[in-house]
Amino acid sequence: MVQNDDSAEWNTDDDLYFEIDNFQSSPKSSSPLVTSLDHMFATLVDMGFSDDMIARAIQENGPNAETSAIIDTISKYSMNCEPSSSKSKTIDHFLAMGFDEEKIIKAIHKLGEENMEEIANALLSSEADTSPMMKEEDNMDWSDSDDEMKYSDLLSSDDEKDQDSLYSCNPLSSLVKMGFSELEASLAIERCGDSVSIADLADFICAAHIAREFDEFHIDPEEQKPRQDIKKRRKEPRPSANNQPLHLPNPMIGFGVPNEAVFITHRSLPALARAPPYFYYENVACAPTGVWETISSHLYDVLPDFVDSKFICAAARKRGYVHNLPISNRYQIQPAPKLTIQEALSHTRKWWPAWDTRTKLNCILTVHASAQTTKRIRLELEAHTGEPSEATKRYVIEQCRRWNLVWVGKNKVAPLDADEIESLLGFPKYHTRGGGISNTDRLKSLGNSFQVDTVAYHLSVLKPLFPDGISVLSLFTGIGGGEVALHHLKIPMKTVVSVEISEGNRNILRDFWDQTNQRGEFIEFEDVQDLTRDKIVELMKRFGGFDLVIGGSPCNNLAGGNRVSRSGLEGEQSSLFFEFCRILEVVRETTMEMRRS
């Protein structure tokens, strides 16, 4: 779960376009506006727009414009260009669909302007040879690239955006064609496994480049001082008994999920991890190389529980969870979440065409398709009196998968609205609605949240352990996914100390607390750095300690959607992971002292 600062403006579940607004306080070293523009620019470049068109659109709309407004403006440039020949209308038609102009002209010369369907088929075939093809139900999850981020094949989320894209050719040759050396491509495949998408493999290689550049150009990383020397406070990882690189499992079901037959019911925790309290840490699964090894080593060598929430609900969300909870006797909250799009969003069934075979959504994102995109899809479909051509079907389904579009009428698709996303993520209806929060902020907050049903499944083991209630320290609380999960499990919350930077998110959780008639004590802090050792000790003595420390630090520098500063745990926002470790260590030490006294 990630924090949301109102000043930042772009892209998370993990797991591609994430509006990752989840840092604890604004970095002092750069303007939030500049950072936001960088992120937006990088996202649009990844979508295939030219630098000139992006700059022109930003200048026309202003630096504070939403990404969707910039995309609309760029689309208008393509659709409204001056006709320069008798073929301009045909060219403009395919430019508006996102194809390369040079390829369009070649196809027209070869096939003739009047053969629109043959041109479309040729262009789609060409795209298939050079672009990632979307893989059904396993698209990068940003939630899923967490996801994320995140985290679509735009690969800009953590939850959390993450679309798994596969090249039609073999991974090694695809990576080499992308400009990577054969050696680094081979190492990436060995490190990540040959079932991982080309996009993920490329991200791992790029992350390794970033890490090397950081080592080469920063003589002493501790001279970098984001957020009052968080890195200086960071402890060196303990010597690890597990020196093997961590691979993402396929299928990503961790120690087991409710609807799969394979379960691991017992694991041997490292001795250091067995001390109280229970802890539960979450972040995007598809992080740069070495990140999860570092997270594991700082959290007492506990191996991550990697889970894609598509096995629990109707939307993908690839996340890693490091915790010392028991893993036997887990159970799912009832009623169980719906597992397919059509079950979860039953109002779409009436309009869902048989040729759209999707049953799962990609990771929930914080950036949505523009009105221009959905208009183009409607016009393409309306051009056919009966069933659309195969080329049109492929184009429409690609756009639907990329943007998580659902059918809302005849020939009409639309992005998910905030109410639908709340349902898919397991939150109560209208959890984020009203109270002064805008629709844009609702979408951002939801895109950066826990998938409640997944977290509740993991936390269900606590119910018999704490029949009289549980005391929780909730870090990077967001909109309260952990608290909602405990409420759904009917585990009384005696005390919740919540730390969340976003005022809007704090209001959402406070409203939930009041509306569900919670009887425990609820205390809020804005910043994890407000939790000094003395403050933590004071709170623990006041409430008798904490039974659970839960949270997910910002994924800004981890999510695959961030092509500007995907610098791993050294990044200014994602280095807040070490604050989670610092606070957890103080809680553990104080717990032992309280038990001895």
330: which 2 tokens? 């887990």
pLDDT tens digits for 197-250?
776 676 666 666 544 433 333 333 333 334 455 444 455 555 555 556 788 888
Number of Cβ within 10 Å of residue 591's Cβ equals 17
Q: Which of 43-47, 128-132, 336-340, 476-480 is predicted least confidently?
A: 128-132
Give, in degrees to the nearest 5, the angle at Cα 593 between 590 and 597.
140
**CA atoms of 426 and 458, how far apart (whole Å):** 14
| C-alpha 214, offset from chain centre | 25
Which residues are annotated as catalytic? 555
**CA atoms of 140 and 318, how far apart (whole Å):** 8
Identify the CA nearest to 423 among candidates 494, 324, 346, 531: 346
What pLDDT, on a 0 to 100 scale, did the predictor assign at position 378?
96
**Helices 67-79 and 51-61, axial angle in degrees (round to 10):** 120
What pLDDT, on a 0 to 100 scale, did the predictor assign at position 103?
80
Amino acid identity at 107: A
Buried b (16+ CB within 10 A) or exposed e, 74-86: bbebbeeeeeeee
| C-alpha 244, offset from chain centre | 26
Site of tokens 């990404």: 67
Most confident of 142-156, 368-382, 546-560: 368-382
- Cβ-based neighbours of 539, under 8 Å, separated by 6 or more: 473, 497, 523
44: in domain? no
Mapping DSSP to helix (H, G, I), strand (E, B) and coil, where does residue 26 land?
Answer: coil
| C-alpha 360, offset from chain centre | 16
52: in domain? no
Do you find a cis peptide bond into 276, omega within 30 degrees of 0? no
Number of Cβ within 10 Å of residue 125's Cβ equals 12
Tell me the pLDDT band of 502, cut-offs 50, 70 and 90: very high
Report the number of distinct structural domains present in the chain.
1
What pLDDT, on a 0 to 100 scale, did the predictor assign at position 152?
34
559: in domain? yes
Full domain range(s) for residue 261? 1-26+140-368+416-597
pLDDT tens digits for 154-203?
333 333 333 333 334 577 777 766 666 776 677 677 667 666 677 667 66
Q: Which of 92-101, 468-477, 584-593 is predicted least confidently?
A: 92-101
What pLDDT, on a 0 to 100 scale, did the predictor assign at position 179?
62
142: which 2 tokens? 């940003």
Phi-psi domain of 426 (left: phi exceeds 0; alpha: psi -120 through 50; beta: other): left
φ and ψ at residue 171, rounded to 5 degrees: -55, -40
pTM confidence score: 0.67
93: in domain? no
Predicted confidence (pLDDT) at residue 509 exceeds the cutoff of 70: yes
Amino acid identity at 289: T
pLDDT tens digits for 252-308?
999 999 978 777 778 889 999 999 999 999 999 988 888 999 999 999 999 999 999
- Cβ-based neighbours of 377, under 8 Å, separated by 6 or more: 395, 396, 399, 400, 405, 411, 413
**CA atoms of 327 and 114, how far apart (whole Å):** 63
Do you find a cis peptide bond into 251, omega within 30 degrees of 0? yes
Amino acid identity at 261: A
38: in domain? no
45: in domain? no
Q: Which of 90-99, 429-438, 542-551, 566-575 is predicted least confidently?
A: 90-99
| DSSP secondary structure letters along 382-402 | HT-SSSPPHHHHHHHHHHHHH
Q: How far is CA 226 from CA 28, 35, 457, 551, in A?
A: 7, 15, 36, 21
What pLDDT, on a 0 to 100 scale, did the predictor assign at position 21?
33
pLDDT tens digits for 109-126?
777 777 777 777 777 666
Rg for the chain, CA atoms, rounded: 24
pLDDT tens digits for 539-588?
999 999 999 999 998 886 676 555 455 667 877 778 899 999 999 999 99
3-state SS string over 513-548? HHHCCCCCEEEEECCHHHCCHHHHHHHHHHHCCCCE
Site of tokens 């159970």: 331
Mapping DSSP to helix (H, G, I), strand (E, B) and coil, where does residue 137 land?
Answer: coil
Compute the residue count for the chain: 597
298: in domain? yes
269 in Cβ contact with 305 (< 8 Å): no
Mean pLDDT of the chain: 77
Q: What percent of the chain clears pLDDT 90, i.e. is strictly above it? A: 47
Q: How far is CA 569 from CA 20, 230, 238, in A?
A: 15, 11, 17
Identify the CA nearest to 150 among candidates 477, 447, 370, 399: 447
542 in Cβ contact with 497 (< 8 Å): no
What pLDDT, on a 0 to 100 scale, did the predictor assign at position 229?
52
Q: What percent of the chain clears pLDDT 70, i.e. is strictly above it? A: 67
